[in-house]
Amino acid sequence: MKRYIAAANWKMNKNVPESLEFTRQLTKYLLNIRRTDVILCPPFTSLFNIGEILNKTDIYLGAQNLHQADSGAFTGEISADMLKSAHCKYVILGHSERRHIFKETDAVIHEKLLKALEYGLKPILCLGETLEQREQNKTLEVLKKQYDSAFNNVPESALNNCVIAYEPVWAIGTGVVATPDQAAEAHREIRKLVATQYTDSAANNMRILYGGSVKPGNADELIATDDIDGFLIGGASLEVDSFGAIVQSVENFMEKQEK
């Protein structure tokens, strides 16, 4: 059975001591999680120290971004090799805040995805439309454009190391969440894109996460929605209790699926 994911994106929150205390508490909170892949994506400053803790657990470490070059004169950037040396297994790419605030283009995100795969990192590729694009009925068009660019010339053999996250920009940090029907439509379209480019088997095996104001109060309903294979969680991942409750929702759903 495909393992679902609960990934925490802390964004620019938590200094090193706060990150370490959270991680120590979380590892105790999640001692009985067996069916869900849990991923923590802290700020760069905390990666190595958190990685040292997580190496003794079943929780994975992820980064929030990387640069597409191996090394060089790129002040303030971080390379895939640096992430690997800090114990990272995953890396978030194409988050809407990178696309819209930092003006990362589809072409740059494609280069980053290839670089992550080259170094054995598992990219979590974010796709999603703005409110204006949704109101103009361009959601599926936007998803196709972002997907096609990112996975251009990516071999099917690399897909097992890739994760996709649908994150409607209008639902990120706003408290507004996509309805189950809205999320299901987008996830279904993304899975069709994978099937068209590769195979039905590749599409079925691809883990497609939902992100956008996920919290304990809506996690049960969302995780039971067709084609949602877990969550990429922002604000609700900053507290142990709320993130732990969302992880438990995913775990409980997976347990029911086994019976």
Active site residues: 95, 167
DSSP class per residue in 60-98: EEEES---SSSSSS-TT---HHHHHHTT--EEEES-HHH
Q: How far is CA 209 from the centre of its chain?
A: 7
Report the relative pairing of strands 90-93 and 4-9 from DSSP bridges.
Answer: unpaired
222 DSSP β-pair partners? none
Phi, psi dihedrals of residue 193, rounded to the nearest 5°: -60, -40
209 DSSP β-pair partners? 165
* Dist CA 94 CA 104 (whole Å): 8
* Dist CA 57 CA 29 (whole Å): 12
Q: HEC states along 181-214? A: HHHHHHHHHHHHHHHHHCCHHHHHHCEEEECCCC
Q: What share of the chain is helix, strand, coil (3-state, %, to 5)?
A: 50, 15, 35
Q: HEC states along 149-170? A: HHCCCCCHHHHHHCEEEECCHH
**Is the four-CA dihedral 168, 170, 174, 178 of positive or negative sign?**
negative
